[in-house]
Structure 1
């Protein structure tokens, strides 16, 4: 065990940072799955920029304020959350841990927040809603087959999903070279090396064979599991994905869904304004897909202020990408976000320890947010704005 990882373990072996959970997940997963979970497009410029952007800001500290218990509560999509953080949609979580989306939904609601269930989830909308006690949210890939989209929206309505998040930054798949190298292609390519690597992770392999959560379950026939389901889901995604989707398609989706509707995957203020004024969306998620789509684009924390300034008074603005610390959450709120989503961090917890791991990651980030606010002298997240930020003075880090 590496010395850095030992340093971050609590007594009893509990990781004490998102990075420590990342290391634990890396040890639990074969290379093929790790490439999918932690990979990026091209050279990883955007993925690194998402993290680096937070370092360009420093937090202002006010002392002797007497605020010992800051209020972390907020609302998103009309639902009360215990903290300004929710779980982003992530596909094929069942590859990281057999309990997948069901465990994530239960962990989210136990923490007083919500999961956005991915279209490419390992468990169906119906399975997740049946296992959950609270209404969660649904993410839609806006594929070109309107009959398929209509059916998905009806399933989401019947399942009690309270808001729709339409992801708009995947007209085609990004160039994820690490996935290709490890055989995590569409369809997957098994090599002797990848099979041997998987064999070195017997617990993962056993649970994969036992529970057979290999596919994007919402694309496959009812009851179909295992390799046949995986092939069917891959073919369905290839058939539905289209690069020519446009604003008219989004307007049609707005007409089909009468609940809160959010667009996920915007970084340009002109697009944000068109979404609000032209489509009437209820909110935006400033996101670049975690650096997994277009490389060399703007970091989400860099894109956030202009979008919040342009439309923040008319819709909810949320951020996704690069969150690894509670202080990152605080900075995002200061820059204009109402709340943030995490993706990779909670899947690290899932991969390492199932539902317990997801709960632990959420508890860790909650504690970091609360501690930061106490140290800043801020009474609660609703009071955060640009006045709590100072630019870094370390040369290249300055905005």
Structure 2
């Protein structure tokens, strides 16, 4: 059958053509085109000098731990339920004695103003606006007082690296408590600095120094250097000045003698909730819970310490089976989407933390970039929950997720001798 055609007239095209309003603000224009954390990462990479970007983006040695952690979240299978009313979704959770509007908070990150001049102020104010916790690192570039000023009504947590100068460490802790930080994250996986080879190859120092190599990298990124040179000098909560690599700094600061007795002592000094960050085995998780801490963070430090460390997301179901309800379980490392968070919550996490995802937003667009990162993660979380057929975080359970594990442990000598296997049994999807 032959189609009938008519003469094309300009008036027929008018209803079909709608020109988008031109956005004159360059930052807003860039951020509006970012729909995933990976998009923010690409913007951040274009706008940040290589040394600062690689410090954020990189990990230890061959970066296997980070790669495995991210792959673990990709290698899952969701099992949605149908015909559920998901017209409204509640993403809020109660965590460590308070409410969070979303099931994630901002993890502690060091040297943050080197990534982008707005630094912790942007992160803390964005977290406060979103109703989620913000964590300040011992190696942060703003003081507890400044962070509280930026986030006057929200929840602030303080992350502690116990330094060789213990009096200085505890002075920081006291300052955080005095301005209303409600939770102390004691990081325990840093007896020494990990081998962060990107920093070594880049000659990345504190503060960044101009060399012929960095000058060439600066030319296409003038805004970063303009902000760095025209805003207040970098200050650190934990030191007055330093001239050297980050690895050298960390080895100078960190106390490799910290043990479980020290953890008990630290717990007794803090008036609020105490959480141990850097748990990588079930045995250690049980031991710190027996010491009376309020929560644990399953984390391999974003892959930045021991390469080939356990994948926290793989460890989660085992820890949750033993300790769910006895302590609050938080997960970080490798989280790049709301779907990752939903999977972690389904398998037993009470809460999650994001570090790089937040920093990519910060480097891409300061405070507005952090807002955009939080909004991306929020929308992905809501959409994933709706597609799974759940209307609240409390409805998520292990039946919603199967881990598809490519890396299966080889049986050890004892298991072989006993005829047993240490390889995890695959959990199959429930029949529908």
- Residue 315 of structure 2 corresponds to residue 303 of structure 1: yes
- Residue 262 of structure 2 corresponds to residue 249 of structure 1: yes
Residue of structure 1 in register with 2:299 after alignment: 287
> 8 Å contact 2:204–2:245 — kept in the other structure?
no
Cα distance in 2, alignment partners of residues 34 and 163 from structure 1: 29
SS across alignment from 1:53:
helix
- Residue 203 of structure 2 corresponds to residue 183 of structure 1: yes
When residues 186 and 123 of structure 1 are mapped into structure 2, their CA distance, relative to the original with a 3 A threshold, is closer
TM-aligned CA deviation for residue 219 of structure 1: 2.3
Where do 5+ consecutive residues of structure 2 fail to align?
Answer: 1-27, 409-425, 428-432
Residue of structure 1 in register with 2:49 after alignment: 30
Residue of structure 2 in register with 1:219 after alignment: 238
Residue of structure 2 in register with 1:71 after alignment: 90
> 8 Å contact 1:330–1:369 — kept in the other structure?
yes
SS across alignment from 2:285:
helix
Residue of structure 2 in register with 1:198 after alignment: 218
Aligned residues: CA RMSD: 2.3
TM-aligned CA deviation for residue 395 of structure 1: 11
- Residue 282 of structure 2 corresponds to residue 269 of structure 1: yes
Residue of structure 2 in register with 1:112 after alignment: 131
Cα distance in 2, alignment partners of residues 74 and 327 from structure 1: 17
Cα-to-partner distance string for 1:181-231 (whole Å, 9 max, x where unaligned):
11114676653112321233110001000114534x11245xxxxxxx444
Question: Which segment drifts farther, 235-244 or 115-124?
Answer: 235-244
> 8 Å contact 1:10–1:16 — kept in the other structure?
no
Cα distance in 2, alignment partners of residues 310 and 189 from structure 1: 49
SS across alignment from 1:318:
strand
Cα distance in 2, alignment partners of residues 109 and 157 from structure 1: 18
Cα-to-partner distance string for 1:329-348 (whole Å, 9 max, x where unaligned):
11000111001000001100
SS across alignment from 2:237:
helix
When residues 132 and 11 of structure 1 are mapped into structure 2, their CA distance, relative to the original with a 3 A threshold, is closer
When residues 181 and 236 of structure 1 are mapped into structure 2, their CA distance, relative to the original with a 3 A threshold, is closer
Cα distance in 2, alignment partners of residues 298 and 310 from structure 1: 18
Query: Aligned to 2:338, which of 320, 323, 326?
Result: 326
Task: Kindly name which structure, 1 or 2, has the bigger radius of gyration based on alpha carbons.
Answer: 2
TM-score of the two chains, using structure 2 as the length reference: 0.83
When residues 249 and 188 of structure 1 are mapped into structure 2, their CA distance, relative to the original with a 3 A threshold, is farther
Count of residues paired in the alignment: 381
Pairwise mapping of residues 1-399 of structure 1 onto structure 2 (< 5 A)? 13-133=32-152, 134-185=154-205, 190-215=210-235, 217-221=236-240, 229-231=241-243, 238-277=251-290, 279-392=291-404
Residue of structure 1 in register with 2:6 after alignment: none
When residues 12 and 186 of structure 1 are mapped into structure 2, their CA distance, relative to the original with a 3 A threshold, is closer
> 8 Å contact 2:59–2:196 — kept in the other structure?
yes
SS across alignment from 2:158:
strand
Question: Which segment drifts farther, 139-148 or 170-179?
Answer: 139-148
> 8 Å contact 1:95–1:213 — kept in the other structure?
no
> 8 Å contact 2:279–2:297 — kept in the other structure?
yes
Cα distance in 1, alignment partners of residues 157 and 302 from structure 2: 20
Cα distance in 1, alignment partners of residues 300 and 31 from structure 2: 37
Cα distance in 2, alignment partners of residues 168 and 197 from structure 1: 35
> 8 Å contact 1:75–1:81 — kept in the other structure?
yes
Cα distance in 1, alignment partners of residues 403 and 321 from structure 2: 18
TM-aligned CA deviation for residue 64 of structure 1: 1.2
> 8 Å contact 1:70–1:380 — kept in the other structure?
yes
Where do 5+ consecutive residues of structure 1 fail to align?
Answer: 1-8, 222-228
When residues 210 and 20 of structure 1 are mapped into structure 2, their CA distance, relative to the original with a 3 A threshold, is same
Cα distance in 2, alignment partners of residues 303 and 241 from structure 1: 26
SS across alignment from 2:142:
coil
Residue of structure 2 in register with 1:224 after alignment: none
Cα distance in 1, alignment partners of residues 231 and 207 from structure 2: 20
SS across alignment from 1:298:
coil
TM-aligned CA deviation for residue 12 of structure 1: 7.6
> 8 Å contact 1:219–1:232 — kept in the other structure?
no
When residues 103 and 154 of structure 1 are mapped into structure 2, their CA distance, relative to the original with a 3 A threshold, is same
